[in-house]
Amino acid sequence: MDLPQTDILPFLLSRQNPDGGWGYNSRVSWTEPTALALLALTARREHTDSFARGSRWLRALRRSDGGWAPEQAVEESTWVTALAVLAGQADGVEWLLRETGRESTLLERVRRRLLGVKWEYGEGTVGWSWYPGTAAWAVPTAITVLALQREIRSGASGAMRKRIEEGREALLARACPDGGWNHGASRALGTDASSYPETTGVVLLALHGMKGAAIDRGIAAAKRHYEQCRAIQGRSWLALALSAHGAKPAPIRMGAVACRDAMDAAMLILAEEAIRENNAFSGVAG
Amino acid sequence: MKAGLTRREAIAGTAAGIGLAACGRPRLNKPLVSIVKAAGYGEDLSEKVRSILRNHKVAVRGKRIVLKPNLVEFDPSSAINTHPLLVAAAVEAFRSMGAASVEIAEGPGHRRNTLEMAEAAGYFGFIANFEKRFTDLNVDDVSRVKLRSPRSALKSLYLPNTALGADLLVSMPKMKTHHWVGATLSMKNFFGLVPGGVYGWPKNILHWAGIPQCIADLHAAFPRHFAIVDGIVGMEGNGPIQGKPKAVGAIVAGADMVAVDATCCHVMGIDPSRVEYLKLAETGGQTEEANVHQIGEPIRAVRADFELIKQFEHLRLKG
């Protein structure tokens, strides 16, 4: 569905479910689109009834372990806890600080050492997984770093600073040879892998405020992807990242990209605001 | 004799029956697998698929059919994905045989922009109303499914309602080598059913729980299935993404996915009895050629040994 730019906010609001949340493609509410919709409404200063109902839905999904599940039918807390924190649910931080990728647990490190298993990338770094009990990957690590950066504003703790540093180290270790990032595997069986637009955007955004050759290569890769990427979420993450690093991206032209659902609309609003120097993710230094 | 079989297929079937009798096994227990030659994607593939469905007496009329192609990433110089012309042919074949609906569904393992990948891979261009037919399984609504007698470390999985609700789930993989399990075919293709919205991109939970074991578990979790393998052009070497295109010129199909994948392995020059997930899932010795009722082209007519990476050279079929 192609929409004129002025229609994006009403489109996003029209996709809100009766229970207050937002879904991907159906009337079932999920944490990810709800959190991004709330971030978009915050960026537009739309603290309306819609925002309040969305926040209540998100709050109600908090689990007894302190984390958030992807949707009500799922009985495990996952990476979306970081999105909930970004959308204002600060008490998810404790859950995030307890989580690491499985490969960095003591048991797994001992097992790998005994078996002589070598990783092709990210050896020894500590990031976050998509799902408990699995390995760390680029996007959940980047989103969690962004969430902790947000919360550090309201009181820096040593544990938070340490995990942010570790997370950023893990992200830098997974950069692809082309300078960008993919899902988190820069090499497979000795063969170099290429970066993706959306993951390059998310990771580079999480590295805002940093300088150096790896960041310069990342910015160059993000610019290349931004020229070619037609997917609205990919372009939006890239716009957010480039804005955060002071590289002004060109506005996203509606019609050149297709806005299909609430996630698209929320991301587009966040990108538009970032291009107007109102970046919802990079308000603080790491 | 089954209605719709060609004379050649009937002869092959009779010969297989004699072979079975000699082995003391009842012929009716042998799963049927078709090999159909197709030199290129420009051929009338819908008639070939219709012929397969007739030969296998697939109940189509009034059914909700969900086609599950393999859509991973797009590289114009490679052969990563199931070709959209074969998927379009399957849509046409099932529709013409009276299916109530024919949907297409996939949940790529690494990329989130599924529709843009599908567009780059030609799905929008070759398949009428593609977007209306398509469900991104990564963000589909889910239900928790308890795994029966799981082989993996998992007791249950959240699975997408679109796939769970299908009367017939048709696995349409690309015939490819795979750098972790040797070959990726109709059974491994079911990894794409596991929702990224719950488990992430990649679906790493399957790796930690045991890849061959999870392949067997997913196969068991979707019992109403059929397989149509795109072996017109496959992928050899460092598959499933970084390998090289391999022209085979064949479609391999059947209702018994273990038998279909084992037959594909024979075509690829891989010994299916050495492929761990096939051994885990087989229930009637399907990894042995003699235990499969193979119709259409004989394996030797389409056999094209796939280049194997060093880690999987031990899978090479002898002879």
* pLDDT per residue as tens digits for the range A44-62: 998 899 999 999 999 999 9
- Separation in Å, CA of A61 to nearest CA in chain B: 15
Best A22, A74, A102, A141 member to test B by mutation, with max B CBs in 10 Å, is A74
Picking from B119, B138, B141, B144 by the largest number of A CB atoms within 10 A of its own CB, the best residue to mutate is B141
Under an 8 A CB cutoff, do B110 and A183 touch?
yes
Closest CA to B103 of B91, B116, B113, B86: B91
Q: Quick check: B112 contacting A, CB < 8 Å?
A: yes
Q: How many C-beta neighbours within 10 Å does residue A17 have?
A: 19
How confident is the model over B252-270, as a mean pLDDT? 98
Numbered residues of chain A with Cβ closer than 8 Å to any chain B Cβ: 24-26, 28, 30, 32, 70-71, 73-75, 78-79, 102, 129-131, 133-135, 137, 139-140, 182-183, 188-189, 191, 193, 196-198, 230-231, 233-234, 258, 260
Q: Show the beta-strand stretches assigned E in A70-227.
A: 187-188, 191-192
pLDDT at B7 over 50: no
- Nearest Cα of chain A lies from the Cα of B220 at a distance, in angstroms, of 22
Binned at pLDDT 50, 70 and 90, residue A11 comes out as very high
Which pTM does this prediction carry? 0.92
Amino acid B4: pLDDT: 39
Helix (H, G, I), strand (E, B) or coil at B15: helix
Q: Helix, strand, or coil here: A179?
A: coil
Q: Rounded CA gap, A19 and A57, in Å?
A: 7
Average pLDDT, chain A: 92
Q: What CA–CA distance (Å, rounded) separates A20 from B155?
A: 32
Angle, CA B98 vertex, CA B233 and CA B221 arms, to 5°: 65
Yes or no, beta carbons of A30 and B115 under 8 Å apart: no
Distance CA A32, CA A21 (A): 10
Residue bearing tokens 């820069």: A186
Distances (CA, A) of B19 to B16, B23, B64: 5, 6, 37
A135 CB neighbours in chain B (<8 A) are 204, 207-208
Q: Which residues contact A49 (CB under 8 A, 6 or more apart)?
A: none
Tens digits of per-residue pLDDT, A69-98? Answer: 999 999 999 999 999 999 999 999 999 999
Q: What pLDDT sits at residue B8?
A: 39
Q: What angle do CA B247, B253, B255 make, to 5 degrees?
A: 155
Rg (CA), chain B: 18
- How far off is chain A from B109, nearest CA to CA, in Å? 10
pLDDT at B26: 37
Contacts of B144 in chain A (CB under 8 A): 73-75
What average pLDDT does the segment B127-149 reach?
A: 96
Nearest C-alpha in B relative to A190: B238
Q: Which residues of B touch A130 (CB under 8 A)?
A: 199-201, 204
Report the alpha-carbon angle A225-A264-B144, nearest 5: 110
Determine the Cα–Cα distance for residues B303 and B268; give it in Å rounded to an integer.
Answer: 6
**Number of inter-chain CB pairs under 8 A, A vs B:** 95
Under an 8 A CB cutoff, do A196 and B205 touch? no
pLDDT range class, residue B6, cuts 50, 70, 90: very low
Sequence letter at residue B23:
C
Taking only the tens place, the pLDDT of each residue in B154-173 is 999 999 999 999 999 999 99
Q: What are phi and psi of A205, to 5 degrees?
A: -60, -40
Cβ of A75 within 8 Å of Cβ of B198? The answer is no
Q: Nearest by CB to A188, which of B142, B179, B198?
A: B179
Q: Looking at residues A203-217, what average pLDDT do you find?
A: 98
Q: Summarize the confidence of residues B124-151 as an average pLDDT.
A: 96
Residue (of B81, B97, B253) closest to B176 by Cα position: B81
Res B77: pLDDT = 87
Q: What integer pLDDT is reported at residue B28 of this predicted model? A: 57
Is B304 near chain A, with CB under 8 Å? no
Q: Do A231 and B202 touch (CB under 8 A)?
A: no
Residue B255 confidence (pLDDT): 98
